[in-house]
Structure 1
Amino acid sequence: MLGAVWRKSSHSGSEECVEVRLDGVPQIRDTKDRAGGALSVTTRSWEALVACLSARKPPGRPHDGPVASA
């Protein structure tokens, strides 16, 4: 895809992590191995992952209550 935008989480700062591309089929890749390919997932799977992660507090960050476990 020409002109596709890969985005890294704003929570990762300058650390290496994963990037996502959401125009078209959602894709995920490793920032340390960008030429190594990308994992494509369905839009439904991506939305389920985001919903699950949004329901939890990030590890190592202050929170005001217990974190729900899966």
Structure 2
Amino acid sequence: MSRIQHEMLHAHLRIQWISSRVLGTGYAVDMQYALKHQPNCHSSLQAFSTQALEASKQALKFLASHLTIFMITV
């Protein structure tokens, strides 16, 4: 895995982990396990990025709805 692919995977996993913590869903993965066991292929990186992007979208929707509720109550 090239250094750029490795950095991309780290970034996607961090987004996925943060999103899962916000949403309380099952998107979290063990980063070390994933880095050790993912095959060096573009499809796995693409799958991670797609899942991380979806988790990020859901997290943003969650935060936006709660921010709106907070602003209305204040």
TM-score range, shorter chain: 0.3 to 0.5
Return the structure number with greater helix share.
Answer: 2
- What's the TM-score, normalizing by structure 1? 0.32
- What's the TM-score, normalizing by structure 2? 0.31
Return the structure number with greater strand share.
Answer: 1
Task: Report 1 or 2 for greater relative contact order, CA contacts < 8 Å, sequence distance ≥ 6.
Answer: 2
Q: Which has the larger radius of gyration?
A: 2
